[in-house]
Structure 1
Amino acid sequence: MHFFTMVQFLAFVAASLLCIIAPGPDNLGVLSLGLSRGRKAGMGYAAGCALGCLTHTTWASLGLTALVAASPAAFGVMKFAGAGYLCYLGVKALKSKGASLETKGEPAGDTRQFLLRGFVSNALNPKVALFFLAFLPQFINPRGSVGLQMLILGACFGLMTLTAFTLLGYFSGAIGAWLRRRPSVSRWLDRATGYLFIGLGVRLALAKQRM
């Protein structure tokens, strides 16, 4: 069975790292939440984004992303669902009174809640689906199992995303611990995060069905 070569794989890793570290909605979301809500929130959101990437790569390997690329209706549903969720998060952040210094009373499911945020905001973004549909095939051997190769590369991309974003969330959380002692700064960060998510939601809603 034919697979991608080591040269192809190394090229994939280099290209993936450039995509991951480039400023974008996912890493900005990790940084913003880590700063305003602390290390666990940032790391939870990071894990959610990585799981969202795995969802898209799985869809791409099964050929389902091609449906989104070909169907304006499917693209529209995913686009507006994702945009609506981002705007919801933005409004929620704008209404927040800021992160509290006391964390002992936080429900046990808080970290899972941030993980879910990251997952949903990523998984419902059709532009991410189209990105993987165009990106992954460039590094596979067409004579081999295309779906299996895309699954392997997609898993690698998700692992690199998880590692990079978790580190970002971890270190931004340390800054957030300092900022939570200053409620006015924390409230300002919540406002900034809110406007960021609303802006990203509007941008997604206006996106056209093209790369």
Structure 2
Amino acid sequence: MISLQFLLTAFVVVIAPGTGVIYTLALGLGRGRRASLWAALGCTLGIVPHLLAATLGLAAVLHASALLFNIVKFAGVAYLLYLAWTALKSGGALRVEPSTSAEPGLAIARRGALINILNPKLSIFFLSLLTPFLSGNPATVTEETLLLGSVFMAMTFAVFVLYGLFAAQARNWILGSARTMAWLNRSFAAIFAILAGRLALERA
């Protein structure tokens, strides 16, 4: 069940730059190591509802209902656009700048969790990722799904922490360049706007 093939597949998925990775990098660059760790934790916890939905069969219900799917989807689109705006706004949560006020870790984690919670495609993604590695025994499918999902989450957290620590270290190198910080802020805003557009085009 927890085979080398599963671990390699999960690692490739986790390490690929996605919305959570971008968020963690932005927090590491903008607010430092502590913030990046909270971001990694939040993004990881945002997986839990989708894992439970996949395990309990709720994913099929979500994707069978176009209305429910679109409600979650467009809430996610609006949220990503909001994050894009915070990268441009002075003092914004995702803005990279030399002087930033301390922010509660739970607030950082909550934003990271919402990024994943408001992506309705993740529940189906978990079904497609985990199903091939199940034993096929109906009596243990729930336990196996939760176990594989937990391994995936642990791997997600570990990789995101590494991304965040790298970004936090790089923060010390870029603070002296106003041009670099401005470029990063525009880049993060553009990336989140593009991700919002991509999510808006998703279909159930």
List gaps (5 residues or longer) in structure 2: none
Identical amino acids, percent of aligned pairs: 37
User: What does 1:149-160 correspond to in 2, within 5 Å?
Assistant: 149-160=144-155
TM-score (norm 1): 0.86
Deviations 1:74-115 (A, max 9, x none): 211111111111111111212235544345x524x1x32221
Aligned-partner Cα distance in 2 for 1:47–1:183: 30
Amino acid at match of 2:118: L
User: What does 1:85-124 correspond to in 2, within 5 Å?
Assistant: 85-96=79-90, 98-102=95-99, 105-107=101-103, 109=104, 111-124=105-118
Aligned-partner Cα distance in 2 for 1:114–1:181: 25
User: What does 1:133-152 correspond to in 2, within 5 Å?
Assistant: 133-143=127-137, 144-152=139-147
Aligned-partner Cα distance in 2 for 1:125–1:196: 16
Q: 2:48 aligns with which of 39, 42, 54?
A: 54
Aligned-partner Cα distance in 2 for 1:44–1:179: 22
Matched, 1:206 2:201: yes
Q: Find the counterpart in structure 1 of residue 58 from structure 2.
A: 64
Amino acid at match of 1:59: A
Classify 1:140/1:26 alpha carbon distance in 2 versus 1 (closer, same or farther; 3 Å).
same
Regions of 4+ moved over 6 Å: none
Q: Find the counterpart in structure 1 of residue 166 from structure 2.
A: 171
Matched, 1:12 2:9: no
Aligned-partner Cα distance in 1 for 2:33–2:184: 15
Q: Find the counterpart in structure 2 of residue 132 from structure 1.
A: 126
The alpha carbon displacement at 1:171 in A equals 1.4
**Is 1:39–1:176's contact at 8 Å kept on the other side of the alignment?**
no
Matched, 1:27 2:24: no
Classify 1:81/1:72 alpha carbon distance in 2 versus 1 (closer, same or farther; 3 Å).
same
Deviations 1:112-149 (A, max 9, x none): 22211110011110122211121111111221321121
Let me know the Cα RMSD of the aligned residues: 1.9
Aligned-partner Cα distance in 2 for 1:182–1:44: 26
